[in-house]
Amino acid sequence: MRKLRLPSDPLLNIAGIIVWGLYGLLLVAIVMVSVGLFTTLTVGRDEQMAELAAAGLGMTGYLMVLTSLLLIDGLLILALMFARNLLRIMESVGEGDPFVPANADLLLVMGWLAAGGEAILVALIGIALWFGGAKQIIVAEEATGMFISGFILMLITFILARVFRLGTRLRDDLEGTV
């Protein structure tokens, strides 16, 4: 199997820098949300409960805050895994051989990661609407736009996984006939 070596692909290099930067930001965000979750569970819990009780939310509001932080952490972890798989695909592109079964598998996993992210986003929209108020409804409307974009991303990754699988199969068939 012959690999095409790309001497230098500026677009791929720039994309790599961006995805690595995003990867780092996601790691920092995961740590920050995890610290926030830990803090919410341990430090100042009584004060938080008092504030939520004053707002008429009580223990349910506290549990919704904890649930939201857990969901946000989960969403960030899924995004981190998505970025990691994207980096692995970009590496094979840089090596000149992107049409391999492993990339089709990575794209399929990325599609499922995007689907999981969409499910988490729907839950977060529900929590924002449950808390009510104009500000939360605006947040939910903005998240709905993110939901549509994420849904399209999910479809694209599933389709690309199929394209990569077919491309790999066609290339293997072509090499077998030559």
Residue 4 has pLDDT above 50, yes or no: no
Structural domain spans, the chain: 10-177
- What is the per-residue pLDDT for 109? 97
DSSP secondary structure string, 52-115?
HHHTT-HHHHHHHHHHHHHHHHHHHHHHHHHHHHHHHHHHHHHHT---SHHHHHHHHHHHHHHH
Specify the higher pLDDT residue, 107 or 44: 107
What's residue 33's pLDDT?
A: 95
Task: Report the chain's mean pLDDT, rounded to a whole number.
Answer: 84
Q: How far is CA 152 from CA 53, 146, 157, in A?
A: 40, 10, 9
pTM of the model: 0.81
Which of 41-55, 104-118, 131-145, 154-168 has the lowest average pLDDT?
Answer: 131-145
What's the pLDDT score for residue 162?
A: 93
**What pLDDT is attached to residue 138?**
66
Q: For the stretch 9-40, what's the b/e string if a residue is b when 16 or more beta carbons lie within 10 angstroms of its beta carbon? A: eeeeeeebeebeebbeebeebbeebbeebeeb
In this prediction, residue 103 carries a pLDDT of 93
pLDDT tens, residue by residue, 56-100: 777 777 788 889 999 999 999 999 999 999 999 999 888 887 888
112-128: pLDDT as tens digits: 999 999 999 888 888 87
Give whole-number Cα distances, 65 to 4, 43, 73, 131, 173, in Å. Answer: 51, 14, 12, 10, 54
Quick one: average pLDDT of 43-55? 73
CA-only gyration radius of the chain, Å? 21
pLDDT > 50? residue 2: no
Q: What percent of the chain has pLDDT over 70?
A: 86
d(CA 4, CA 115): 33
The per-residue pLDDT for 9 is: 81
pLDDT, position 94: 85
Q: Judging by beta carbons within 10 Å of its beta carbon (0-12, 13-18, 19+), is residue 64 exposed, middle or buried?
A: middle
